[in-house]
Amino acid sequence: MPGSPILLSSAPLKLIDKESMMSNSSDSSEDENPERGNWGNKMEFVLSCLSYAVGLGNVWRFPYVCYRNGAGAFLIPFIIMLFITGIPLVFMELSLGQYCSSGIVTLWKASPIFQGVGWAMFVVSVLISVYYNMIISYTLYFLFASFAKILPWSACGSWSTEVCNDGELFKIKACTKNGGEWCNGGCIANMTALNETYRLAISPNCSNFTSEIKSPSDEFFHEYVLGITDGVHEMGTIRWELVGCLALAWVLVGLCLAKGIKSSGKAVYFTAFFPYVVLLILLVRGLTLEGSVDGIVYFLTPQWSQLSKAQVWADAAVQIFFSLSPCWGGLITLASFNKFRNNCFLDAIIVSVMDCVTSVFAGLVIFAIIGYMAHELNVDLDKVASEGAGLAFVVYPEVVTKLPISQLWSVLFFAMLITLGLGTQIATVTTVHTTLMDYWPHVFRVNQRRRMLLLVMIAVACFLLGLAFCTQGGMFILQLFDNYAATYSLLLIGLVECIGIGWVYGADRFLGDIELMLGKRPSSIWKYSWKFVAPTALLVRQCFT
């Protein structure tokens, strides 16, 4: 066993059988910790961390946050915050997990005052596990619907309301919103500039439309898939199709974790690489569409004046924080299965940089599509730009109906979202599973049967809790979870974690522990980052909430 969960004890840290640990480290074919297991190889760990960090937020949140905060100019505070808070926190958590070889609660057991940090991470991971799989369930529903001969959201159906329209009214509404008038099948931006005789002649053929209208994709998601009610006060009935998709999502997670870290390490080869393949295909296809270049230019054009706003820097800090996923407990858990001599510093750099590159890459893909949509509807880009579920289940489904072989692009997009979601979900459930096994090893680590039983219990419990999301008002509950389950609480967890490591245990002492693993003492810059820079950034961000 490479390390012991005695972090933050008052006594000097001691390794269990250091000579045995060092000899085991030279043999990559054997597990150093037979009781818990180790990753099959370094690639599995790096891909697992990358798959955990790169999630749905990279595709449906970052592009919107970027354009809203100065477009290309936002990349400057984004990159700065990567080095101020992102990489230091990722490096700290990977080192912490690898050194202790223990779960997020038991690694603090020698200093009970900080065990609350571990339990807070555990609670956050449970909440994320419950609602994140519901998002995967929505995606599974759309994936299955994509195999229809005609995409069901391509036109208004019997499920739609009176405001559903898939014809010319969208262009009329867009024209009116921008101050123009729709005449003879086209939009005239400035009627007063026309010749008076011509203006009088065409006036009888002009029309405006100011009442609310919705696209078939909007109606399909909200009326057919969700059957959504007026609010959280009206939960309605259960949507059994969503229950089936939620059950399938939990079966997929269970299969990936059936043999513990060994099976999840194999699954990650698909969940990590497949999204990049699809994003590349979608980018190439998107660049062939009219208006796509305008969307990318809009996404990258810097609005330098935005950099003077404190909120832009705060959004950059929170985007980095939530994108890399420190303080959820997942990074510590994944690193706890590393061998003791693994170079976790290099891993932290690779994962952090690749996550940010993926965010920018996804932004190019999404804004190429948004540019095409804006061109089709003849509206400004900011009228189409959206984030979250609106982008995934309304805007993009609307786009694919206008493309040749629309089923293919729909299948690729939703398959990509599923793999992105599963990568994060697998690591999150692993955190919950590992925490319980490490806290009660005499109960759950007795044999593989009990480990599997615990996994089934977690899946069933989370599935039952997730049934609330399958009701007609479930989307409102999901939004509450998404907005509050893993937002401000994570900032507080990160702040206390930095205080625990940097001040109570001691940053110099922790750097010495890392030196035992890496064979070389990291730069003192990390000490100042953990003690001053990162906590200050987290505290300032808390003040903005």
Interior/surface letters 273-286, b for 16+ CB within 10 angstroms, e for the rest: ebbeebbebbbebb
Confirm or deny that 20 is annotated as ligand binding.
Answer: no
Give the 3-state secondary structure of 8-69.
Answer: CCCCCCCCCCHHHHHHHHCCCCCCCCCCCCCCCCHHHHHHHHHHHHCCHHHHHCHHHHHHHC
Query: CA dist 514 to 13, 52, 87, 275, 480, Å?
Result: 12, 23, 16, 33, 39
Q: C-alpha angle 369/374/380, rounded to 5°?
A: 130
Confirm or deny that 165 is annotated as ligand binding.
Answer: no
Confirm or deny that 54 is annotated as ligand binding.
Answer: yes
Confirm or deny that 53 is annotated as ligand binding.
Answer: yes
Query: CA dist 387 to 360, 414, 545, Å?
Result: 15, 16, 20
Confirm or deny that 323 is annotated as ligand binding.
Answer: yes
Given CA atoms 314, 318, 319, 324 in this order, what sign does their dihedral have? positive
396 and 146 Cβ atoms separated by less than 8 Å: no
271 and 419 Cβ atoms separated by less than 8 Å: yes
Q: What SS3 state is found at 156?
A: coil
- Helix, strand, coil % (nearest 5) of the chain? 70, 5, 25
Encoded tokens for 463: 């599935």
Cα distance between residue 434 and residue 438, in whole Å: 6
* R_g of the chain, CA atoms, integer Å: 26
Encoded tokens for 405: 């072989």
Cα distance between residue 270 and residue 252, in whole Å: 13
Query: CA dist 138 to 110, 386, 458, Å?
Result: 43, 18, 21
Q: What SS3 state is found at 37?
A: coil
Give the amino acid at 394. V
End-to-end distance of the chain based on CA atoms, in angstroms? 42
Encoded tokens for 73: 């100019």
219 and 156 Cβ atoms separated by less than 8 Å: yes
Give the amino acid at 83. F
Interior/surface letters 449-458, b for 16+ CB within 10 angstroms, e for the rest: eebbebbeeb
Give the amino acid at 533. V
Encoded tokens for 188: 């005239």
Cα distance between residue 60 and residue 71, in whole Å: 15
Cα distance between residue 42 and residue 347, in whole Å: 9
434 and 336 Cβ atoms separated by less than 8 Å: yes
Q: What is the 8-class DSSP label of residue 304?
A: G
Interior/surface letters 337-356, b for 16+ CB within 10 angstroms, e for the rest: bbbbbbbbbebbeebbebbb
Q: Which segments are annotated as binding site for Na(+)?
A: 53-54, 58, 323, 420
Binding residues: 53-54, 58, 323, 420
